[in-house]
Every structure is written in structure tokens, then in C-alpha cells.
Amino acid sequence: MIPGKIQSHKHNQKTCYNFFINIKLNYQKIFNGYITKINGQMNKYENYVLGKWIYGDDLGTPLYNAVNGQQIGSASTKGLDFSQIMNYARKIGGPKLRKMTFQERGLMLKKLALHLHSIKNKFYPLSYQTGATKLDSWIDIEGGIGNLFTNASLRRQFPDLPFHVEGSAASLSKNGTFIGHHIMVPKQGVAIHINAFNFPIWGMLEKIAVNLMAGVPAVVKPATITSYLTQFMVREIIASKILPEGSLQLICGSARDILDSVTSEDVVTFTGSADTGILLKSHSKIIKESVPFNMEADSLNCTVLAEDAVPGTIDFNIFIKEVVKEITVKAGQKCTAIRRIIVPEKLIDDVKNALQDKLSKTIIGNPTTEGVKMGSLAGIDQKKEVYNQVKLLKNSQEIIFGSLDDFDVVDADKNKGAFMSPILFLNEYPFEKTDCHNIEAFGPVSTIMPYSNIEDAIKLARMGKGSLVCSIITSNMKIAEKFVLGASSMHGRILILNESCAKESTGHGSPMPLLTHGGPGRAGGGEEMGGIRGIKHYLQRTAIQGHPTTITNVTKQYQVGGKQNTEGPHIFRKHFEEIEIGDTVITDEHLVTLDNIEDFAELSGDKFYAHMDENALDGTIFTERVAHGYYIMSRAAGLFVDPEKGPVLLNYGIDECRFTKPVYPGMTIKVRLTAKEKIEQEKKDDDIAKGIVKFLVDVYDDEGETVMLGTILTMVKKINQK
Ligand code: NAP
């Protein structure tokens, strides 16, 4: 131990470090000047972290226009402290979002969606620089904004609370004094989204829509190569001030240490290659802290032409159109694109000819030029990668359309931009030559392969070892059923396409916000979107147990067996603000008679034998002519409604309704009407300010047993009309 030496070594290290920092800063100044001096269009794409726009402290990674190969700027994350960034989200963004109810968060997303929609045209010019055509850009920009709208609408499926109350209570005791329920609270961490390069806007919006709805802040790390487009949109989002500070941060560039500071309440989503996904998923912090890791990776999706869809049928044409679309849209850089085309062996030539014919009409070139159908890949590196994969595939199958060198490009230099031709392979022995089931060329590349019967088609589809999506084109219900049940366990989504739905179909390649997106096995084993299912990934489900009154108090939803308040005026005399959960009306009783049953049968026209014919009851569960369930429901309303004009505006439906015990003439019924749940409603301009109140309708007989249980939905006026 020679302390002095250590000290001097440290000192030297520090001096040395400062020296390099100075050189770097000076160089940085020169570099910055260089960027602004030589090209006004060059940009330093800053990160939005800790409430500020910050560029890293090195030159950064150059970013290029994919169409002409020119540098458009650079991105740097050097010097960013990821741990600080995560803590900022947890401490500043998280608490603000968690205070908001689902309704408030939904309205915030709707406002953001409306704002971005109003300025959507701003994003197209930059999107074209990623090589995307107008259609590709539309999918990315407007598809992403659409995702915000859809998620915003999901607020109606959640309670008017900052947390979710899931399902219904479980009865855990004989006398009903002990029950269980489930609540789902926002995780007090951060959603870290590590995204792929192909959809710079959609990729971000489809993910943040979900965590923001859940009440969790996000740190978004787009792929560096197209991060400039994501950054442009984040600039607009931040400038709009619609999201609370700290709820969205952006890392524009490489972030190799991003997972070093994750903790148990964070959620990581990854979209990209399987290799990177596996590397990140096995990060020691992810494992030690049990951090949910949602992976969406490479996927060798397929489409199957069924035997009934022969040439000359509309279904055959639909198939050809869909395959061409999936090869050329976004130049095949879609995680859901069709990589394997599974065709009845006797139709191989027809499919080959039809696809060759259609693909030969694909105009490749500058996405801004009229008539261009396919733009470029996202960059030269991507092109190299796809070419390598094509070369590997060529070892076991032949190219029947397209060439790596010989193709034309319109209004651009094919040697400077990242252009390539569609490539179609034929693999005549897909059970023996299996590269096509293992190698993903993330570009306009696909392989035709034959099958002899539907069992073989299912086997081939499953040989992708787990895919995001597959489709089958058939109008034959038996084939569709057999295929779907045989292939489902290896697929996240299956499209059954035919003449009857093609016009309105959203297509093979489009993940829909209300449907689950993800796939087993090779596709990463992840799951996202899917309506409220997606939001639940950011919520912690907790079972709570206790007395119904206690559980009512926590959930703000009345639980059967909980305390009821029968004091005060009739509930129909109370405004929205005055109604408390548990407020109850107990009605007078009503004696049910045979005349009631006959009158109701006459009025409604419902003369079902069990109500009308006492000689037809043999072999039924009824011992007498039974009252209509709907009569009991209607008569209950007659008992609980307080008819004079008041704050209750209307009844707009019944959520659930059960007839639990037969009611025979001579029995009496009585009703307990209890305020079960209240939901705020947004006031539109001239609208009456009002809220939704759900009432539990419990109709019981002279023995105190429930004969009908239902939940009615009413709109109740507020005192405050502003
Ligand atoms: P990638 O190279 O795996 O990169 C994906 C993301 O991971 C990028 O943001 C990348 O950042 C980041 N990353 C890479 N190494 C990292 C590390 N060590 N630590 C932290 N972050 C790291 O994939 P890609 O080339 O962008 O995308 C193409 C692939 O994505 C294809 O295979 C495609 O099938 C797949 N994909 C799947 C889906 C889906 O939903 N399943 C969707 C789109 C794409 P940098 O850019 O800074 O390296």
C-alpha cells in the first residue's frame, strides 16, 4: 500500500481527463461551427431529457437522407446520465400522471391526437428522407396519430379513477362479510421504449399512448438512423405543452447503458432484431429486478393461398394484390411483412406468373416523385444487411424475380440512395431447404413455396417458429377453421381474407390498436396493444380482501354487502355532486299477480309458454306460471323511480342483469336501488353539465332473497353548470 502513489496516479488521471475534455470541447466547437457553416440544413438532433433539449458532448453519429445519401445531421448521447433521466421520469412525470384519472389521461391523449392531426403535413417532408413514400409515411404518421385516438377512447372502459378496478368481486365467505377484488394501479416506474428504425413515428406513438393512459411516464429511444423524424415529432409534442413535464423524454442516438438503471417498477419494451432483443432481455438488471420486458423481434410471417382460391376467382386476385403490397409497402421493412408465400403445388406457376407480372410494374425511386410505388430502405447499412441475407437465402433457393444489381430507379441515384429491387424467391423443397424459415431479409424480399395439402400448409406456417401474423386467403369455411386452429399457437394474429371482407379489410400487415400485436417464439414472445390489455402491462394487479364496506371505500364502487345509506332525500332528488356511493333507496313492495303476467304478455307480445300455459310446465324448472323477467325489471323501475322532474336526466341502458329466482303470482317484490359508481362526463359547448351514475338494482322477495340483480346507467345533472 503506497497511498501517496495512488493519490498522484489519481491526480494524473484527472489532469489527463481534463486535457482530453478540453481537446474534445475545442474540437466540438469547431465541429459545431462546421455544421452550421457548411450546410444550413445540418442539424444536431438533440435529446429531450431532464426538461431540456441537450446534445451529447461528442460529434455524434452522422444521420443521412436515405434517398440521396447526403448527411442531414447527427445525434449524440455522449455524457447523458441515464440514471438521472429515469429518476426524472419517476419523480417528476410519474406523480403528475398518477394523479390524473383515466378519463383525464384519455382526454389529454385526445387533445394531443387532435393537435398532431392538425399539423400532420409538417411531418411528411422529413419522412420522405427516410425513404418512405407518401403511403408509407401515411401509415407511420397518421397511423401513429390514429393510435393515440384509439387509446384515448379506451378511457370509457376504465373507472373514473387514477387506477383500475378489474372484474367483479369474489365472494369469499358464507355470510358475505369477507370478499375479494382486484385493483390495478399504475407502476411507479418508467416505460423505456427501445424502438426499431422502420416506423419512427408510429413506433413511438403506439407505445407511449399506452403507458400514458396507464399513468406511467416514458423514455423513448428510437433507432438512431431515423431518430431525426421521431425527434421532430417529440419537438411538436413538447412545444404543445399538452403532456405534463417529465412524462416524455427522448434519447436521440445510441444508448448502450440504458438498462443499467432500470428498477423493479419499470417496464421495458423492445422492437428490433432478435439478437439485440436477446442481449437486452438477458441484461442482469432485467433479470435481478424482474422487470417486464416486452420483445417484438424478427418474424418470418407467411400467407397461405387455399386450394379453393384458384386463378380466375376474386380471392386469387386478392391474394396477389396483398402479397405485392406486403413486399413493396415501406420497401418490405415491416415486422409484419409477408416473407413466406405458401401456395398449392398445382398453382405455383400461376402465382409465380401473376406476381412477376405485378412486381415488374413497381416503380422504384424518389418517394416524392409522382408514380413512385416503392422508396428506398432506411439507409445504406440496412441495404448491406438485406443484401447479405439475400445472398444467404440464394444458397438454397433461386431468385425468380428481381436483381441485386440490375434495376431502375426513378429521379434518384441508385448508387447513393439505399434503393433495391423487390426480390422474389422460389423454394421447391421447403421441408428440406429450410433457410427461408430462418433467415429474415428485412426488405422487399419474399419466398414462394409449394404445399400439397392443408396439413402441410399448417406445418410450413409453423416452421417460422413463431410469427407476428399470418394470413390465409380462402372462402372455404372448413379450410379456414382447420388452418386457424392448426396454426394459431405459433402466431400472434391470423387474417382470414376473402371476397366478403377484402374491401374493408385492414390487411395482412397492419397491427390494429384494439387487437393484440406480438407473437410467440422467434417473434419475441411479446404482446402489446390489444385495447385495454395493452394498458394493463403498465399496471400492477393487486388482489384486495376485506369487508364489502372497506372494499367499497377503496374501489369507489359499491360492493354487495357494503354499508348502504338510506337517509336523506330520494336519490332522484340529488345532483351528480351530491350522490355518494352507497346512497340507497328502499322502495315500497308490490304484490305480483296473474293479471300482471297476462297484462305484460299482452303489452309486450311475449307469450312464452312458461308465462302463459300452466299445463306446459312438465319437465321445466317452473312449478307455476312464472312472471316475465322483464316485467320484474320494469316493475322495479315503477317502484324506484321518483317521477317528478329533477336532476336525473335519462336512463341509457343496463350493464348487466340477472334473473336469479322465479317470481310466481302471490309473491311480493321490493327494490334496493344503490348508487354504485360515478363517472365524470366532459361537457360539450351548449351541453348540460352532467355525469354518469351507475345504480345497482337489487329486487328481492318476501323471504329477502334476490330475484333480480342489475346495473342501470343514468345521466344525472350537475349543480355546477359551468
Ligand atoms: P436493432 O438493430 O436490433 O435495433 C433496435 C433498437 O435497439 C434500436 O433502437 C437500437 O439502437 C437499439 N439497440 C441496439 N443495440 C442496443 C444495445 N446494446 N443497448 C441498447 N439499445 C440497443 O434492430 P433494427 O435494425 O433497428 O430493426 C430491424 C429489426 O427489427 C428487424 O429484424 C425487424 O424484424 C425487427 N422489427 C420488429 C418489429 C416487431 O414489432 N416485431 C417491428 C419493427 C422491426 P441504435 O439504433 O442506436 O443502435
Q: What is the DSSP string of 474-499?
A: -S-HHHHHHHHHHHGGGEEEEEEE-T
Per-residue pLDDT, averaged over 381-399, amounts to 97
Nearest CA to ligand 1 atom 33: 298
Distance CA 461, CA 711 (A): 46
Which atom of ligand 1 lies closest to the CA of 442?
A: 31
Residue 266 near residue 214, CB atoms below 8 Å: no
Rounded-to-integer distance, Cα 294 and Cα 269, Å: 5
> CB neighbours (10 Å) of residue 399?
17
Task: Tell whether ligand 1 has an atom less than 6 A from the beta carbon of residue 220.
Answer: no
Residue of minimum CA distance from atom 41 in ligand 1: 296
Phi, psi of 503 (to 5 degrees): -60, -40
Cα 254 to Cα 28, 46, 231, 368, 657, distances in angstroms: 18, 12, 14, 29, 55
Is the CB of 528 inside a 6 Å radius of any atom of ligand 1? no
Beta carbons of 649 and 688 less than 8 angstroms apart:
yes
Closest by Cα among 606, 666, 614 to 634: 606
Q: What's the rounded Cα separation, in Å, for the pair 99 and 188?
A: 12
Q: Is the pLDDT of residue 27 over 90?
A: no
Mean pLDDT for 519-537 is 94
Buried b (16+ CB within 10 A) or exposed e, 284-318: eebeeeebbbbbbbbbbbbbbbbbbbeeeeebbbb
Largest alpha-carbon pair distance within the chain? Answer: 109
Q: Supply φ then ψ for residue 587, to 5 degrees.
A: -90, 175
The sign of the CA dihedral 153, 156, 159, 164 is negative
Task: Determine which residue's CA is closest to atom 35 belonging to ligand 1.
Answer: 272
Cα-to-chain-centroid distance, residue 486: 26
Please tell me the predicted confidence (pLDDT) of residue 417: 96
Residue 256 beta carbon below 6 angstroms from any ligand 1 atom: yes
* Ligand 1 contact, 449 CB (< 6 A): no
Q: What distance in angstroms lies between residue 441's CA and the mean position of ligand 1's atoms?
A: 14
Q: In whole angstroms, what is the distance from residue 431 CA to residue 577 CA?
A: 68
Does pTM top 0.95 for this prediction?
Answer: no
**Mean pLDDT, residues 286-298:** 95
Q: Residues 6 or more apart from 201 whose CB is under 8 A from it?
A: 123, 127, 140, 141, 144, 229, 230, 233
Kindly give the distance from the C-alpha atom of residue 431 to the centroid of ligand 1, in angstroms, as a whole number: 30
- Ligand 1 proximity of 223 Cβ (cutoff 6 Å): yes
Q: Which of 594, 38, 137 is nearest to 372 (CA)?
A: 137
pLDDT at 722: 81
8 A C-beta contact, residue 581 and residue 594: no
> b or e along 360-389 (b: 16 or more beta carbons within 10 Å of the residue's beta carbon)?
eebebbbbbeeebbbbbbbbbebbebbbeb
Is residue 706 in contact with ligand 1, taking CB distance under 6 Å? no
Q: Is the pLDDT of residue 626 over 70?
A: yes
pLDDT at residue 681, rounded to an integer: 87
**Whether 499 is catalytic:** no
Which among 459, 443, 461, 448 has a CA at the least distance from the CA of 519? 461
Q: How far is 368 from 131, CA to CA, in rounded Å?
A: 9
Q: Is 392 helix (H, G, I), strand (E, B) or coil?
A: helix
Q: Is the pLDDT of residue 18 over 90?
A: no
Please give the pLDDT value at position 684. Answer: 83
Percentage of the chain beyond pLDDT 90 is: 91
Interval between CA 6 and ligand 1 midpoint (Å): 43
How far is 720 from 662, CA to CA, in rounded Å? 44
pLDDT digits (tens, 9 = 90+) for 201-248: 999 999 999 999 999 999 999 999 999 999 999 999 999 999 999 999
Q: Find all residues with CB under 8 Å of 127, minimum gap 6, and list them.
A: 136, 137, 140, 141, 200, 201, 229
**How far apart are the CA of 350 and the centre of ligand 1, in A?**
37
pLDDT of residue 272 exceeding 50, the answer is yes
Q: Is 335 a catalytic residue?
A: yes
Q: Is residue 213 lining ligand 1, measured as CB closer than 6 Å? A: no
Task: Check pLDDT > 90 for residue 267.
Answer: yes
Atom number of ligand 1 nearest to Cα 224: 46
Residues 506-534: b if buried by 16+ CB within 10 A, e if exposed: ebbbbbbbeebbbbbbbbbbbbbbbbbeb
Q: 682 falls in which pLDDT band (50, 70, 90)?
A: confident
Nearest CA to ligand 1 atom 38: 335
Cα distance between residue 364 and residue 373, in whole Å: 6
Q: What per-residue confidence (pLDDT) applies to 64?
A: 96
**CA 296 to ligand 1 center in whole angstroms:** 9
Q: Compute the average pLDDT of residues 516-540.
A: 95
Residue of 197, 229, 517 best suited for mutating to test ligand 1, as the one with most atoms within 8 Å of CB: 197
Atom of ligand 1 at shortest range from CA of 524: 41
Ligand 1 atom 9: residue of nearest CA: 223
Confirm or reject: Cβ of 378 under 6 Å from ligand 1.
no
Tell which one of 271, 284, 300 to mutate to probe ligand 1, the residue whose CB is within 8 A of the most ligand atoms.
271
* Over residues 445-451, mean pLDDT: 98
Q: Looking at ligand 1, which residue's alpha carbon is closest to its atom 15?
A: 276
Task: Give the lowest-confidence range in 1-5, 400-404, 688-692.
Answer: 1-5
**329-344: average pLDDT:** 97
Active-site option among 252, 302, 335, 470 = 335
In three-state secondary structure terms, 373 is: coil
- C-alpha cell belonging to residue 97: 400522471
Q: What is the pLDDT of residues 61-82, one digit of tens each?
A: 999 999 999 999 999 999 999 9
By DSSP bridging, strand 293-296 and strand 267-271 are parallel
The verdict on the CB of residue 527 being under 6 Å from ligand 1 is: no
Axis crossing angle, helix 227-240 with helix 102-118, rounded to the nearest 10: 120
Cβ of 714 closer than 6 Å to ligand 1, yes or no, is no
385 Cα: distance to centroid of ligand 1 (angstroms) = 13
Give the model confidence (pLDDT) of 295-326 as tens digits: 999 899 999 999 999 999 999 999 999 999 99
The band of 110, judged by pLDDT with boundaries at 50, 70 and 90, is: very high
Q: What is the grid cell recorded at 68?
A: 440521396
Of all residues in the chain, what percent are helix, strand and coil, respectively (each to 5)? 40, 25, 40
Between the CA of 498 and the centroid of ligand 1 the distance, in Å, is: 34
The pLDDT confidence band at residue 177, using thresholds 50, 70 and 90, is very high
Cα(378) to ligand 1 centroid in Å equals 13
Q: How far is the CA of 346 from the centre of ligand 1 (A)?
A: 39
∠ CA 293-297-298, nearest 5°, is 170
In this structure, what DSSP letter does residue 90 have? I
* In the predicted structure, residue 691 carries a pLDDT above the cut 60: yes
Whose Cα sits closest to atom 18 in ligand 1?
256
Q: Is the CB of 273 under 6 A from ligand 1?
A: yes
- Alpha-carbon separation of residue 585 from 273, 570, 651, 673 (angstroms): 61, 6, 17, 5
277 CA → ligand 1 middle, Å: 8
Atom nearest to 197 CA in ligand 1 = 26
What is the reported pLDDT for 692?
95
The mean pLDDT of the chain is: 93
Dist CA 93 CA 163 (whole Å): 16
In which band, very low, low, confident or very high, does the pLDDT at 686 lie, cut at 50, 70 and 90?
confident
Cβ 496 under 6 angstroms from ligand 1: no
Ligand 1 and 76: CB distance under 6 A: no
Query: Which listed residue (166, 265, 296, 322) is catalytic?
Result: 296
